[in-house]
Amino acid sequence: MKRSRIGPKTFAEALAKALARQKAKPRPVDQKDREHGYEWRRVKRPLGYSGRLKPGRKTKAWTAERRKLKVKYAQMGITSCELGYQGCKRDDWLSFAHGRKRRKLEGDELSTLTILACIPCHDRIEFLPADEMLAIVERVIALRSESQS
């Protein structure tokens, strides 16, 4: 039998060539391999890739507005949740709740149509219909302005 000049001549050479090829190009790990204890291989990312998006125009605007609101609310003496529903955390986990979804706010409503609420209370009004959420926020703002007068 005539051997090709291109291929390996012995079994040891063929084995060494196959091992070198395996090291150079790892095979993908599939679900079957994961069941046997192998883990997914990480995909190599380009240099400088952090995996996170940078804040956009609306996020930067809200961050700047939130800084102003914190000072404003502290000057008004509002440092705890204004809703006080059952399960309220009072002065922990505070955030600003808006009368409408943030993407639907118009004009200066980003700063004027807000109340201070803890996360459980905020979540409670967040999942109500839009008109109910707006009514609750406007009522709290009206009560706040009455008490300050």
- Among 89, 97, 96, which Cα is nearest to 70's? 96
Kind and range of the H or E element at 94? Answer: strand 94-98
pTM score, whole prediction: 0.63
| Residue type for position 65 | E
pLDDT tens digits along 107-119: 888 889 999 999 9
Q: Which residue has the tokens 């118009």?
A: 106
Q: What are phi and psi of 63, to 5 degrees?
A: -60, -45
Q: Return the number of other C-beta atoms located less than 10 Å from residue 118's C-beta.
A: 24
- Among 79, 113, 80, which Cα is nearest to 97's? 113
> What does the domain layout of the chain look like in residue ranges?
57-148
98 with 110: CB under 8 angstroms?
yes
Mean pLDDT for 103-132 is: 92
pLDDT tens digits along 17-31: 888 877 766 655 555
